[in-house]
Structure 1
Amino acid sequence: MVDMAMFLGALLIVYVVPGPDMILLLETGVLRGRGQALAVAVGLAIARAAHVTLAALGLAALFKTHPWAFDAARTVGGCYLVWLGVRLLRAGPVSYDAVGQAAPRQAGWSGALLSGVLTNVLNPKALLFCSVLLPQFVSPAHGPIGQQFAVLGVILVGLGLAFDVMCALAGGAVGRWMSASPRAQKIQSRIFGVALIGFGLRLTIAQRPA
């Protein structure tokens, strides 16, 4: 395979730049607890694995040959992020139990996992990213193409999951620290809500792939 250090560097840059995935992780950790934030991280990993699979199958080309598919995906994804943001703006403070775990809100673990899957899988830019990045590090001279895609995909998903787990734990720690201040929780909800709405609107007006 070609230049693993460059591949890892590209992934690190993408993962550390704030985006809807990171905002969702931090929001869930701060406002709903570490457990649900970890469920979101698992959901994001599932979605990334799906994107890698679709990229390997060449289905990302659908967005170039059928622009309406990109428009539909970004509109649905953007509306979902806006809905998450509005829900946060309307949410109340969270109570914590004796061990610092947030009391269940919404659909618990299953709902958190689903929100992680949908937030990433409904973002067509995530699929385009995989379809553009992975082929740059695949070469017929280095063995079977499918095997190379599989190895790079495992690295992409694994590194993303590790980063997401750190964000989830950090958000959970901040949430326990803020548990005594409903006012602080409300401010955090508004910040995260506005951020998600902003990302949703930006995705909705995203340019079609060239």
Structure 2
Amino acid sequence: MFGIINFEAFVLAGILLNLTPGADTMYILGRSISQGKKSGVLSALGISTGALIHCLFAALGLSILLAKSAIAFNIIKYAGAIYLLYLGIQLLRSKSQNNLEIEERKTYRINYRKVYLSGILTNVLNPKVALFFLAFLPQFINPDFAENYTPFLILGLTFVTTGTLWCLFLSFFAAKLSNSIRRNYKIKLWLDKFTGSVFIILGIKLAFTKQ
């Protein structure tokens, strides 16, 4: 149907891939533990939105550019690495415990729009995700439909849907465990530092990723 072959196998393989820990998993866990359930959920939705964009790129054939052009690949890669390093440094520069307590009572607010957009950028600026869609999806598409975007979109949306459900579960689970911990500002400060360190490590890892 629609040029898709072995759809059941695709769904099973997709779920197993979703369950495999990766950069997106660490990002969502970091946000959920450090900033709570809402930040975790918005991070998960941002990651899913980024994956959806990659899916559209793959369907339109734009991902082939990343696969064939080292320059395009490196531009996206280093932009993503710099962005992750920026997020990490921002968290490492979190204010001291006393200042945080005062601001929490008065003006401290999490910019949830920024959290969502960060999730999108973190995923979109990872060229490996684009190459994954380009390499994985065609294995389940009839060669006669290789130039038809419909099977790409169906498979991509299926993968994004299962991935979103898993990411939302992760965000709820991590936030539930950390709610009581985050009420202690000193521990929250260290969680911010830990999350920032994770983002920096992910950024460095992405920077050294080869095409």
TM-score (ref. length: structure 2): 0.84
* Correspondence list, 1:18-57, <5 A: 18-57=21-60
Q: How far, CA to CA, are the matches of 1:60 and 1:141 in structure 2?
A: 20
Alignment: residue pair count: 199
| Offset at residue 134 of structure 1 (A) | 0.5
Residue number in structure 2 paired with 1:113: 116
Amino acid at match of 2:169: M
**Structure 1 vs Structure 2: percent identity of aligned residues?**
27
- Higher helix content, 1 or 2: 2
Native 8 Å contact 1:77 1:203 kept in 2 = yes
Q: How far, CA to CA, are the matches of 2:164 and 2:123 in structure 1?
A: 13
Residue number in structure 2 paired with 1:169: 172
Q: How far, CA to CA, are the matches of 1:127 and 1:64 in structure 2?
A: 9
Name which of structure 1's ranges 142-151 and 50-59 shifts more when overlaid on structure 2: 142-151
* Selected match of 1:81 from 46, 59, 84: 84
Q: Which runs of 5+ in 2 are unaligned?
A: 102-107
Say yes or no: does 1:125 pair with 2:133. Answer: no
Native 8 Å contact 1:30 1:171 kept in 2 = yes
Q: How far, CA to CA, are the matches of 1:43 and 1:65 in structure 2?
A: 27
Native 8 Å contact 1:28 1:171 kept in 2 = no
Cα 1:17/1:195, change in 2 over 3 Å: farther
Q: Which runs of 5+ in 1 are unaligned?
A: 96-102
Cα 1:180/1:143, change in 2 over 3 Å: closer
Q: How far, CA to CA, are the matches of 1:119 and 1:157 in structure 2?
A: 16
* Selected match of 2:7 from 1, 4, 8: 4
* Selected match of 2:151 from 148, 152, 158: 148
Residue number in structure 2 paired with 1:99: none
| Offset at residue 54 of structure 1 (A) | 0.6
Q: How far, CA to CA, are the matches of 1:157 and 1:148 in structure 2?
A: 14
Native 8 Å contact 1:55 1:127 kept in 2 = yes
Q: How far, CA to CA, are the matches of 2:91 and 2:8 in structure 1?
A: 39
Task: Encode CA deviations 1:108-156: one digit per residue, 9 max, x unaligned.
Answer: 2211110111000000001000010000111156899432222111111
Q: How far, CA to CA, are the matches of 2:12 and 2:85 in structure 1?
A: 31
* Selected match of 2:138 from 135, 138, 142: 135
Amino acid at match of 2:208: I
